[in-house]
Structure 1
């Protein structure tokens, strides 16, 4: 059996990725490329819900042969519904890092146990501290 034949189908991956939490953005996914995000901290919770923006992270996960490459970014989710690379305030950093680390651990464990796939962090990823 070839290496390509061993790879899980897109639909099996989508199902497994949805099971690890609310972070998968299925409409932005395609075969071999998966998008996740997390709205970790509200920028200003005195605003009405429809006007709120959030600090958080997003992930582009790409399947390259039998390994996933993870590219994480951090910034602000604006009112228009787009992620903006922006310096994150120190007050939000601990919560963003906590949610990212918890998610990444679940992601790595699930992909390894269920599909025998590894995850590497791309050099373009932001570092969480």
Structure 2
């Protein structure tokens, strides 16, 4: 474990999370709780860009005694800019799963290698299989 990184500051975590990719919703994060999401597949790409909705996932990462716990959900990002828990159609499912798995590996690696922290899954987290 890297020395002195067991209790990283909120700002060090934000910096590390931003480096993973465009998933962090910084404005909706607070110390000890972080929101990530991904618009993985367009619902209808024939619509004008401002009218598009997306299939994807979102996740709340909460601090625990030993590290962080991830609670993933999947569904549709609607025109109001809100996530709705919905079943993802088969045509978009592989894109959503692949993206979520790649992100999760990067997050786990970042927490472990940079801060010596563990990443566990919340018991109510969505299954991506």
TM-score over 0.5 for the pair? yes
The question of whether the paired residues in 2 share the 8 Å contact of 1:7 and 1:66 is answered with no
Number of residue pairs aligned between Structure 1 and Structure 2:
125
> How far does residue 115 in structure 1 lie from its aligned partner after superposition?
0.2
Structure 1 CA distance for aligned equivalents of residues 122 and 113 of structure 2 = 21
Query: Under a length normalisation based on structure 1, what TM-score does the superposition of the two structures give?
Result: 0.95
The question of whether the paired residues in 2 share the 8 Å contact of 1:54 and 1:76 is answered with yes
Is the partner of 2:57 in helix, strand or coil? strand
| Unmatched runs of 5 consecutive residues or more in structure 1 | none
In the alignment, which residue of structure 1 is the partner of 2:67? 67
In the alignment, which residue of structure 2 is the partner of 1:17? 17
In the alignment, which residue of structure 2 is the partner of 1:49? 49
Query: Under a length normalisation based on structure 2, what TM-score does the superposition of the two structures give?
Result: 0.95
In the alignment, which residue of structure 2 is the partner of 1:35? 35
> How far does residue 67 in structure 1 lie from its aligned partner after superposition?
1.5
- Alpha carbon RMSD of aligned pairs, Å? 1.0
In the alignment, which residue of structure 1 is the partner of 2:102? 102
Structure 1 CA distance for aligned equivalents of residues 124 and 28 of structure 2 = 20
In the alignment, which residue of structure 2 is the partner of 1:112? 112
> How far does residue 65 in structure 1 lie from its aligned partner after superposition?
1.8
| Unmatched runs of 5 consecutive residues or more in structure 2 | none
The question of whether the paired residues in 2 share the 8 Å contact of 1:33 and 1:61 is answered with yes
